[in-house]
Chains A and B, each alone.
Chain A
Amino acid sequence: MKVILETKARKKPFLPIEAESIIPRNFLNGTELTVFEGNKERRLSDIFRIFVEGTSVTPEKIEIVLKGDTSRIKRVGEYMDAGKITIAGDIGMHCGNFMSGGDIEVLGNADAWLGREMRGGNILCRGNAGHYCASGYRGEKTGMRGGRVEVLGNAGDCCAEYLTGGEVHIHGSCGDMAGVEMKGGQFIVEGNATRPCGNMKDGTCMIFGTVHEMLPTFEMIGTRVMTDRKVTMTVYKGDIANRGKGTLMIQK
Chain B
Amino acid sequence: MSDLPLIQADRAVPPPAATTSTGGRRRRLRLLSRTDRVVITLMVLVPLLLVTAFVWLPALATVVLSGTDWDGIGPLNEIDFVGARNYSDVVNIYPPFVPAIQHNLLWLAVLFVVATPFGMFLAVLLDKELRGSRFYQTALYLPVVLSLALIGFVWQLLYSRDQGLINAVFGSNVDWYGDSSVNIWAVMIASSWRHVGYIMLLYLAGLKGVDPSLREAAAVDGASESRTFFRVVFPVMRPINIIVLVVTVIESLRAFDLVWVVNKGRNGLELISALVTQNVVGEASRIGFGSALATIMLVVSLVFITIYLATVMRENRE
A binds B: no
Interface residues of B (CB under 8 A from A): none
